[in-house]
Chain A
């Protein structure tokens, strides 16, 4: 969907006009009260659930959560997935043509924040005729957007679902992001972000960035269980090896896995987008304007909150979700908090742990009840 009205950004810059790509699932009811907005994290987009007829392998990134009969049941809810500004899956971003120059924005695409995304999403909601979402939900960076929604548009969010998220990044989180960005920026093929003009992509930088990211998504236990110290078999091996090769080539299975993930990622993800999105993560800090008082920052929210964390997530550990819960409790706001005992680390939010699924299903039963009986007993 094309938006011609300029969008003023937090940085002071503005985007003249822009495109937001979105997908919807289910049917908006007559009262327009059953809409659920799904906010994506770093490397996902608007394709939340299902597959396309002409691309049966391209499964939506949260298909375990959203669909007919799923916890977010598309037979009840009208689900909207939107690709954020600055991303690389169709919405206006660094790969788009800058009308001012006739060339791709590249490094000149303005730095966007979580709040900027939310304002853009709100315009999409306006255009779709959605005054108030039954729920706004997301995991990780998506959870930050859901939180931002509740304070930027308190009257437009009935329920907020924030999974495996944090009220702001820690120094360690920012450090990981910075290593990833340096890997990209120092890749000779990056060309100061103008690599499109040179017909190349900074694939090595993106690969390293993704490898670092991937390490932080998994728990030590899962990595140990999945790969341990297993050695990589090479195609030339005729028997199972039990000795080292004494080279710096891929030796362990974990190395092979990370390289594979890195290569896959660098084949479809835009390097400038990676920089933008990690910066949006770094900058997110809703309490900053309230002197660091998160409770005060969240006070305007009118939503009922569900916070979910995973015991083995060390990227956004349970303690980070508890900070948010504590702030909401201090305000006497409605909040439920589930701490899921799952082994998969941060990645768990995209997987289908039975307790996690049951928690989400129960919550969306509650959302559904409030849709059917607005203002009634909850």
Chain B
């Protein structure tokens, strides 16, 4: 699982991190034990290790991304997150992160369930399919194509798209309690009407 190349918004907060990762990093306490699923090039873990004294592992299936993690000194386990998190004993992590990858999972429910089992807290960032321009595209008869979702319908890695409201319903159905949410619009807080105006959403949650 690679993190969405589409998700590279403006860098946040001067640490060079992608906007959603910068917000996620803000939520993670210093010294935490972190598991980053679909960790991409390992940027979040590298930052957490150097700036916050965190430790942990990335999980990444892609060969190039694995090497990028290794070059950053990030410990990474090469595995498809959909093959299950059986290698990780529960509950062994303070935080489990899944950034801009949930829409690419086949067994989305299983992935979220396992996240909540191996970590005390889960953090997920996702593209908001409910963005108003998407509705406009659909009204005009086309599948939406945007910066966060740049793929044509016939050539997309994204399988499970949701609006922020769908996702919140889903978390509740899994018995998970939302403890924080941030809506971003082009990397900045979305302000008013976030369900329609945000391009990305970030949730933190715990088992109920």
Question: What residues make up the interface of A, taking CB atoms closer than 8 Å to B?
Answer: 304, 322, 325-326, 329-330, 332, 334-339, 341, 355, 358-359, 362-363, 365-366, 369, 377-378
Contact A336–B50 (Cβ < 8 Å): no
Given contacts A326-B87, A329-B88, A330-B89, whether A338 and B66 have CB atoms under 8 Å apart is yes
How far does the alpha carbon of A355 sit from the alpha carbon of B70 in the complex, in Å?
A: 12
Cβ of B76 within 8 Å of any chain A Cβ, yes or no, is yes
Nearest B residue to A360 via CB reads B70
Q: Are B75 and A336 neighbours in the complex by a CB distance under 8 Å?
A: yes
The answer to whether B78 touches A337, judged by C-beta atoms less than 8 angstroms apart, is: yes
**A304: B residues at CB distance < 8 A:** 75
Number of CB contacts from chain A to chain B under 8 A:
53
**B57 — which chain A residues lie within 8 A by C-beta?**
329, 335
Could you mark each residue 67-100 of chain B with 1 if its beta carbon is under 8 Å from any beta carbon of chain A, else 0?
A: 1011101011111000000111100100000000
B206 CB within 8 Å of chain A: no
Distance in angstroms from B2 CB to nearest chain A CB is 15
Please state if B70 and A362 are interface contacts (CB–CB under 8 Å).
Answer: yes
Do the beta carbons of A359 and B77 come within 8 Å of each other? no
Contact of B66 among A326, A332, A359 (CB under 8 A): A359
Pairs A–B under 8 Å by Cβ, sample size 25: A304-B75, A326-B86, A329-B77, A329-B87, A329-B88, A330-B89, A332-B55, A332-B92, A334-B55, A335-B77, A336-B75, A336-B76, A337-B76, A337-B77, A337-B78, A338-B66, A339-B78, A341-B63, A359-B66, A359-B70, A362-B67, A362-B71, A363-B70, A366-B70, A378-B73
Residues of A within 8 A of B55 (CB): 332, 334
Instruction: List residues of chain A with CB within 8 A of the CB of B69.
Output: 336
Whole-angstrom CA separation of A335 from B75 in the bound complex? 6
| Cα-based distance from A332 to B32 in the complex (angstroms) | 12
Chain B residues with CB under 8 A of A322: 87
- Is there a chain A Cβ closer than 8 Å to B33's Cβ? yes
Complex Cα distance A341/B61, Å?
11
Chain A residues with CB under 8 A of B75: 304, 334-336
Closest to A334 in B: B75
Question: How far, in whole Å, are A377 and B49 apart by their CA atoms in the complex?
Answer: 9
| Chain B residues, Cβ within 8 Å of A355 | 63, 67
State in angstroms the CA–CA spacing of A369 and B74 once bound together. 13
User: Which B residues form the contact surface with A (CB < 8 A)?
Assistant: 33, 50, 55, 57, 63, 66-67, 69-71, 73, 75-79, 86-89, 92
- Which residues in A have their C-beta under 8 angstroms from that of B89? 326, 329-330
Chain A contact residues: helix, strand, loop or mixed: helix
Shortest distance between the CB of A232 and any CB in chain B (Å): 38
Known A322-B87, A332-B92, A355-B63; contact A366-B73, beta-carbon cutoff 8 A: yes
| A333 smallest CB distance to B (angstroms) | 9
> With A322-B87, A326-B87, A330-B89 given, is the CB distance from A365 to B78 under 8 Å?
no
Check B79 against A358 for contact (C-beta < 8 Å): no
Kindly list the 3 A-B residue pairs having the minimum CB-CB distance in the complex, ordered from nearest.
A362-B70, A326-B87, A337-B77
What is the distance, in angstroms, from B68's C-beta to the closest C-beta of chain A?
9
Taking CB as reference atom, which chain A residue is nearest B50? A377
Q: Which residues of B contact A326 (CB under 8 A)?
A: 86-87, 89
Q: A336 to chain B: which residues have CB within 8 Å? A: 69-70, 75-77
Bound Cα distance A348, B111 (Å): 32
Closest residue of A by beta carbon distance from B59: A337
Q: Evaluate whether A358 and B67 lie within 8 angstroms (CB atoms) in the complex, with A334-B75, A336-B76 already known.
A: yes
In whole angstroms, what is the CA distance A213 to B70 when docked? 34
Q: Which residue of B lies closest to A306 (CB)?
A: B70
Contact between chains at B92 and A330 (CB < 8 Å): yes
B34 → A minimal CB distance (Å):
12
**Are B67 and A325 in touch, CB under 8 angstroms?**
no
Chain A residues with Cβ below 8 Å from B88 are: 329
Q: Which of B55, B57, B76, B77 has the most CB of A within 10 A?
A: B77
Let me know if A332 and B67 touch, CB within 8 A.
Answer: no
- B70 (CB) vs chain A CBs: closest residue: A362
Q: Which residues of B have CB within 8 Å of A335?
A: 57, 75, 77
Specify the chain A residue showing the minimal Cβ separation from B87. A326
**Bound Cα distance from A370 to B57, whole angstroms:** 19
Alpha-carbon gap, A339 to B70, bound state (A): 14
Question: Which B residues touch A332, using CB under 8 A?
Answer: 33, 55, 92
**What 7 additional pairs, Cβ within 8 angstroms, besides A326-B87, A329-B92, A335-B77?**
A322-B87, A326-B86, A337-B77, A355-B67, A359-B66, A363-B70, A369-B73
Q: Closest approach, in angstroms, between the C-beta of A10 and any C-beta of chain B?
A: 31
Residue of B nearest to A307 (CB): B77
What separation, in Å, do the CA atoms of A220 and B89 have in the docked complex? 34
Cβ contacts under 8 Å, B86 to chain A: 326
Q: Which residue of B lies closest to A354 (CB)?
A: B63
- When C-beta atoms are compared, the residue in chain B nearest to A308 turns out to be B78
Complex formed: what's the CA distance from A322 to B77 in Å?
A: 10
Q: How far is the CB of A304 from chain B (nearest CB, A)?
A: 8
Query: Which residue of chain B lies nearest to A362 when distances are taken between CB atoms in the complex?
Result: B70
Chain B residues near A378 (CB-CB < 8 A): 73
Give the docked Cα–Cα distance between A362 and B87 (Å).
24
Which residues of the other chain, B, contact A337 by a CB distance below 8 angstroms? Answer: 76-79
B132 to chain A minimum Cβ distance, whole angstroms, is 42
